[in-house]
Amino acid sequence: MGVSSGSGLSLDELSADAVAYDNTTSGLIAEQVQAAIDEIVSLVSTSASPGFSFGRASNVNNGTWLQCEGVPSNKAGRYVYINSAEVATIFISTETVSTYDIEIYHHEGDEVNLTLIDTISVVSSRGGSFVVGESVPTDTQLALRLVNGSTRNIVSGLELSGTD
C-alpha cells in the first residue's frame, strides 16, 4: 500500500492530472504558483522558437554579410520583437571544415546605429552551437557577418530569450 498524500490519493497515484489547481485561491502559495506559471508561459512563448536564421550560399569570404531570405542582414536583418531580449545561443553549420569568426550586430535598418554585440570564433570545424548571453534592444534588427577567414555554404541561427 502506498503512502497517503493527504488528499485521499496514495503518492504512487499522484500525478499532475490528479492535483486540482484553482487560480482564484488567494494566499502566498497560490500567488507563488501563479507567478511561476506566468513566468513559464512567458519564457516558453519567447524562447521555444526555432530562432532567427541567416545564411549565404557558395564561397563566403572575409567581410561578407550573411543574408535573411536573400537580403544582406546589414540592410534588413531579423527584427527583435521581444522585450528584455538576449541572444542566448548562436548555431552555425557549413559545408567545409573552416576557421573564421562570426560577428553579431544589431542596427535600426540599413546599418543605422550598427553595433557589434559579440564575436564567435569557429576553428577548424563545420560549426557548432555557442553560448552568447548578450542583450539586444527591442525594435532593432540583427545581422551576422563572417570575418577573419572564409567558408562555403554557411547556415546560422540565433536563439533569443526574453519576455513578450
- Number of residues assigned to the chain: 164
pLDDT, mean over the chain:
85
Give tens-digit pLDDT for 21-78: 565 666 667 777 777 777 766 655 545 455 899 999 999 999 999 999 999 999 999 9
Per the model's pLDDT, the better-predicted residue between 1 and 115 turns out to be 115
Q: Which pLDDT does position 122 carry in this prediction? A: 98
Give CB contacts under 8 A, 24+ apart, made by 26-32: none
CATH topology of domain 50-163: Jelly Rolls (2.60.120)
| Cβ–Cβ < 8 Å for 46, 162 | yes
Dihedral angle of Cα 117, 121, 125, 126, to the nearest 10 degrees: 20
pLDDT at 48: 42
The percentage of residues in the chain with a pLDDT greater than 90, rounded to a whole number, is 63
